[in-house]
Amino acid sequence: MQANIERLQQRMNVLGVRFRPHVKTSKCLPVVRAQLEAGAQGITVSTLKEAEQFFAEGIVDILYAVGIVPGKLAKVLALRRQGCQLKIITDNPESAAAIVAFGKEHGEVLEVWIEVDCDGHRSGIKPDDSSQLLAVARILTAGRMLLGGVMTHAGSSYELDTPEALESMAEQERSGCVRAAQHVRAAGIACPGVSVGSTPTALTARHLDEVTEVRAGVYVFFDLVMHNVGVCRMDEVALSVLTTVIGHQIDKGWAIVDAGWMAMSRDRGTAKQKRDFGFGQVCALDGTVMPGYVMSGANQEHGIVSREGTADSGIASRFPVGTLLRIIPNHACATGAQFPEYCALTDDGSLEVWERFYGW
Amino acid sequence: MQANIERLQQRMNVLGVRFRPHVKTSKCLPVVRAQLEAGAQGITVSTLKEAEQFFAEGIVDILYAVGIVPGKLAKVLALRRQGCQLKIITDNPESAAAIVAFGKEHGEVLEVWIEVDCDGHRSGIKPDDSSQLLAVARILTAGRMLLGGVMTHAGSSYELDTPEALESMAEQERSGCVRAAQHVRAAGIACPGVSVGSTPTALTARHLDEVTEVRAGVYVFFDLVMHNVGVCRMDEVALSVLTTVIGHQIDKGWAIVDAGWMAMSRDRGTAKQKRDFGFGQVCALDGTVMPGYVMSGANQEHGIVSREGTADSGIASRFPVGTLLRIIPNHACATGAQFPEYCALTDDGSLEVWERFYGW
């Protein structure tokens, strides 16, 4: 994990941008502290609960990267009144007008960023839809809110798996967000920030000219989806689920383990990638990857470990009852979310329990 | 929820069997209390944490329905020494021998049930593999442990969707488990209990002759998978996720909501059923189903709501920013697990917060 943190932070330093990690992956203070100590400036959150939890721990510079709705503004105000430099986002005039009305009513200048859709995968205004960009920007600035900048997330980079495609998507993300800022600035409206990012694009962008900050989340742990995308080696994945063999179905070549989808999550993100790992890659207790052995099926608290291709008729002697295995997950964000804590292996080989939170 | 509880309990009463609900679905005391008050006798758990949590609330008759491994026996003993009537299961001689060794070492007669594999979907000994059944039974009884009975779970019933197939699977589950008990008894070994169950088979079994108890879990809430299986109506599903519209992509006919896969879970259980509901069925705030509208895509905290088939060009006026929607989930067990609490609608229309726990 520490190596992953340093790898991306150094890349951001070389590219000359601020780095604002997305803490939705870990929801865990020791992880986020390590990111900040390595040089990150501020954090990105996916829920107001994350903002509340990390602000309570002294982190003040927070971007809430899900489009705001009026019903959440009271919580936003409460955080800002306590000193949290909480930034919110929107991609439509209705929400912008609601932000202005709320800000006026409460005498608060809210900092708002406009969300840009650089790849068609989710929310945001198209980079060259200058009329919509300006409509939102004008409502905010006429209403005396602070336009912090424009931000985007190239989520469709998760669907790519060649260096060329990733580099191209990184440039599409960068240039689209920069163009959106230019449309706003061309109308005489200040738009200082240009925030981009996803783990695959952050790790493959050639340059980030005119970008002010980058966001990324899953790089901190990595996972099988990122391995398939091609941005990490298997031995760079820093998260695994420890499980025990509880029985076998010898005729099928199955070992049954006591981790099912409740532990791994139901994420089957590798199902549509070039290599399908089922519910996860099987490793020995010491982390050694056991090629060809995957968690091929899962019930709530049962996993089926088997060899890809032909059944392993010697499964019961290979993995006797009581054998401890590690399973590398498809998606670190989803798997981590199933657990109240991480067991962290420290430099000296001892274990620390790191609490994480969940919910909204 | 209350109607679902009463429906299945009454069925069990008519069929003349004890009912031992599987509390892995809710992990919530008020839900389990309602099941016990309706007539359930004891509970089934999928983790020792569930056993500990519910025993702490005064529930003593508990079946831990995942094959035991030696590393968990200390926790089992601790619970039993406090007065918990905790039953464990196994399907192999190695674990049976470990149970005997542990029981002897600690002077404890552990109650053990033998797991039977009635449908090939997971763990258990085949119903007519009398040599393996007797091997396990003899190790346990020779070692002076208490053989409580045989138990099975027809998990493959989730893959069916006609009354005939379900009834046939229920009979396969019943008759297989009964035969397994008969093999043990034929060797002169007492095998009093015959425990079967899954929500689909519990709701479709014609008779349960020679069965002593039934287990089922998801029936308490139901979900879209169970709706597709054919054992509940849509309006019997008692669990939904409340979410807010945060924006649109009008050209695509998308409304973006602030519930993504973190709220719905990554469960796509309806993907391989006769009707694929994406990540969930969209309903109005009052629960009215909006036919054809589903959550067609999901990121961590973003959901895409769209109409099946042709895009809805009027999506922004149909679901303006701020609109509250309810999403019925594919799988109640997986969706519930994403939340620290349920908001329960009581008889008088007021809301109660019911805490639930997670982890191991």
CATH number assigned to the domain comprising residue A313: 2.40.37.20
Other beta carbons within 10 angstroms of residue A142's beta carbon come to 11
B348 is a domain residue:
no
Alpha-carbon distance of A125 to A115, in angstroms, equals 6
Q: Which residues of B touch A95 (CB under 8 A)?
A: 246-247, 321
Q: How far apart are the first and last CA of chain A?
A: 26
B245 is a domain residue:
yes
**Chain A 162-221, CB below 8 Å of chain B: which residues?**
none
With a CB cutoff of 8 Å and minimum separation 6, the contacts of A143 are: A96, A97, A99, A100, A101, A103, A104
Compute CA A319 distance to the chain's CA centroid, rounded to the nearest angstrom.
Answer: 34
**In this structure, are A128 and A192 located in the same domain?**
yes
Q: Do A123 and B249 touch (CB under 8 A)?
A: yes
Q: Which residues of A touch B263 (CB under 8 A)?
A: 360
pLDDT of residue B68: 98
Q: Which residues of A touch B46 (CB under 8 A)?
A: 262, 300-301
Q: Do B69 and A258 touch (CB under 8 A)?
A: yes
Establish if B100 touches chain A: CB-CB under 8 angstroms: no
Q: Which of B194, B222, B250 is the last residue of a domain?
A: B222
**In this structure, are B172 and B304 located in the same domain?**
no
The string of DSSP letters for A170-202 reads: HHHHHHHHHHHHHHHHHTT----EEEE--HHHH
**In this structure, are A181 and A285 located in the same domain?**
no
A345 is a domain residue:
no
Q: Which of A188, A223, A258 is the last residue of a domain?
A: A223
Q: Which residues of B touch A249 (CB under 8 A)?
A: 117, 123
A/B interface, count of CB pairs below 8 Å: 138
**In this structure, are A171 and A43 located in the same domain?**
yes
**In this structure, are B46 and B137 located in the same domain?**
yes
pLDDT band with cut points at 50, 70 and 90 for residue A328: very high
A258 is a domain residue:
yes
| Domain assignment of residue A43, given as a range | 2-223
A132 is a domain residue:
yes
**In this structure, are A184 and A285 located in the same domain?**
no
**Three-state DSSP class for A255?**
strand
Other beta carbons within 10 angstroms of residue B263's beta carbon come to 26
- Which residue in chain B is spatially nearest to A24 when comparing CA positions? B300
Q: Which amino acid is at B37?
A: E
Percent of chain A with pLDDT over 90: 99
pLDDT band with cut points at 50, 70 and 90 for residue A272: very high
Q: Which amino acid is at A51?
A: A
Q: Do A71 and B301 touch (CB under 8 A)?
A: no
- Which residue in chain B is spatially nearest to A342 when comparing CA positions? B359
Establish if B93 touches chain A: CB-CB under 8 angstroms: no
**In this structure, are B214 and B309 located in the same domain?**
no
Instruction: Give, for all 360 residues of chain B, the pLDDT tens digit.
Output: 999 999 999 999 999 999 999 999 999 999 999 999 999 999 999 999 999 999 999 999 999 999 999 999 999 999 999 999 999 999 999 999 999 999 999 999 999 999 999 999 999 999 999 999 999 999 999 999 999 999 999 999 999 999 999 999 999 999 999 999 999 999 999 999 999 999 999 999 999 999 999 999 999 999 999 999 999 999 999 999 999 999 999 999 999 999 999 999 999 999 999 999 999 999 999 999 999 999 999 999 999 999 999 999 999 999 999 999 999 999 999 999 999 999 999 989 899 999 999 999
Q: Which of A163, A192, A223 is the last residue of a domain?
A: A223
A338 is a domain residue:
no
CA dist B39 to A238, B23, B57, B230, Å?
Answer: 47, 15, 17, 25
* Over residues A332-336, mean pLDDT: 98
Report the domain count for chain B. 2
CATH number at residue B106: 3.20.20.10
B356 is a domain residue:
no
Q: Do B95 and A333 touch (CB under 8 A)?
A: no
**In this structure, are A108 and A199 located in the same domain?**
yes
pLDDT band with cut points at 50, 70 and 90 for residue A262: very high
**In this structure, are A194 and A295 located in the same domain?**
no
With a CB cutoff of 8 Å and minimum separation 6, the contacts of B74 are: none
With a CB cutoff of 8 Å and minimum separation 6, the contacts of A220 are: A1, A4, A5, A21, A25, A26, A31, A35, A238, A332
**In this structure, are B214 and B298 located in the same domain?**
no
DSSP A346: P
Q: Do A69 and B244 touch (CB under 8 A)?
A: yes
Percent of chain A with pLDDT over 70: 100
Sign of the C-alpha dihedral computed for residues B218, B219, B222 and B225 taken in this order: positive
**In this structure, are A160 and A51 located in the same domain?**
yes
- Which residue in chain A is spatially nearest to B116 when comparing CA positions? A249
Question: How far off is chain B from A83, nearest CA to CA, in Å?
Answer: 25
With a CB cutoff of 8 Å and minimum separation 6, the contacts of A10 are: none
Nearest CB among A24, A245, A301 relative to B46 is that of: A301
- Of the candidates A216, A227, A315, the one whose C-alpha atom is nearest the C-alpha of residue A277 is A227
**In this structure, are B245 and B212 located in the same domain?**
no
